[in-house]
Amino acid sequence: RQLDEVCLPLFFGWFLLTPAQDQLRSTGSDFLTALDGFKKNAVGQEIPLEQYFKGKRSLHCTTKFCDYGKAEGAKEYAEKPVSELYGSVFDLAVSALFVTPRTFGARVSLTDEQLVLWPADAEKEAESSVPGAGSLPLGSRAHITLGCADGVEPVQTGLDLLEILVLPEVEPVTDLELGSLRFYGEGRWMLELKEPMCAAACFSSFYK
C-alpha cells in the first residue's frame, strides 16, 4: 500500500474541547432524566435511560468515515479544503437531542462555513438504510453520538437522526425546561433545545 493510503485516519471530524464535552454530557444527562420523568419506558425498556445508553468515548461530530482509506472517496476527501482547515477550532451549534431504542445523540446544525468540510454524499450514502435520506439537505446527518444501547454500533446514531428527519413534522408533546419534546413513534424522541448550545470543537482526525 502507498504511504498516503496508510496514513488516512479511521475518520475525520470535529472533536469537542473538554469544556464543551462536559457541558454536552451534563445537558444530555438532564434530558434523559427529564424524559424518564415525563414518560416511563420511553424507549420500551424498564431501566433508566442513563443506564441503558453506554458511552464513554470522547465526543465528536464525524465528517468523513475513511476506514484508513478503504472507504469510498476517502482519499479525495483528505485533499483541500480539509488539509487546510485541519487543526482549526470551530463553534458547533448543537440544536437538538434525540433518543431511539438504539442510540442517544445530539443534532449539529452546520453553518455554510462548516459545510465546506461536509462530504457531498454523506446523506445519499444512507439512502439504502433510510429511504428518503438522500433528498435531505446537506449536513442533515451531522450529529454527536452520546451513547448506544448494548450491541449497537455508533454509526447507527446518524442513521437514527436521518430516520427522524425524513418523517413528517409533528407537534410537540410537551415543553420541558430544556425545550420542546416531540415523539415520532417506535421509541423515537427529539428535544429541540430552546437555546442551541455552542460547542467549541477542533477539526482533526482519529486513528485507533
Residues of this chain that bind ligand ACK (CB under 6 A): 10-11, 62, 65, 145, 154-155, 157-158
Query: Phi and psi for 76 in degrees, rounded to 5?
Result: -65, -40
Question: Is-catalytic flag, 72?
Answer: no
Among 52, 60, 98, 136, the active-site one is 60
Closer residue to ligand ACK in complex, CB, 43/59: 59
Q: How far is the CB of 15 from ligand ACK (least distance, A)?
A: 11
Q: What is the C-alpha separation between 151 and 67, in angstroms, rounded?
A: 20
Question: Is-catalytic flag, 117?
Answer: no
8 A C-beta contact, residue 78 and residue 12? yes
Closer residue to ligand ACK in complex, CB, 70/194: 70
Q: How far is the CB of 131 from ligand ACK (least distance, A)?
A: 17
Q: How far is the CB of 126 from ligand ACK (least distance, A)?
A: 8
Q: Residue 94's closest CA among 115, 110, 71, 81?
A: 110
Q: What is the C-alpha separation between 33 and 120, in angstroms, rounded?
A: 36
Q: Residue 190's closest CA among 198, 182, 201, 200?
A: 182
Closer residue to ligand ACK in complex, CB, 115/176: 115
**Residue partners of 45: CB distance under 8 A and separation at least 6:** 52, 101
Q: How far is the CB of 65 from ligand ACK (least distance, A)?
A: 3
- Could you check whether the bond before residue 172 is cis, i.e. omega within 30 degrees of 0? no
**Largest distance between two CA atoms of the chain:** 55
Closer residue to ligand ACK in complex, CB, 69/154: 154
Closer residue to ligand ACK in complex, CB, 142/190: 142
- Other Cβ atoms within 10 Å of 162 Cβ, number: 23
Among 64, 102, 107, 143, the active-site one is 143
Q: How far is the CB of 10 from ligand ACK (least distance, A)?
A: 6
Q: What is the C-alpha separation between 132 and 43, in angstroms, rounded?
A: 24
Q: What is the set of active-site residues?
A: 60, 143
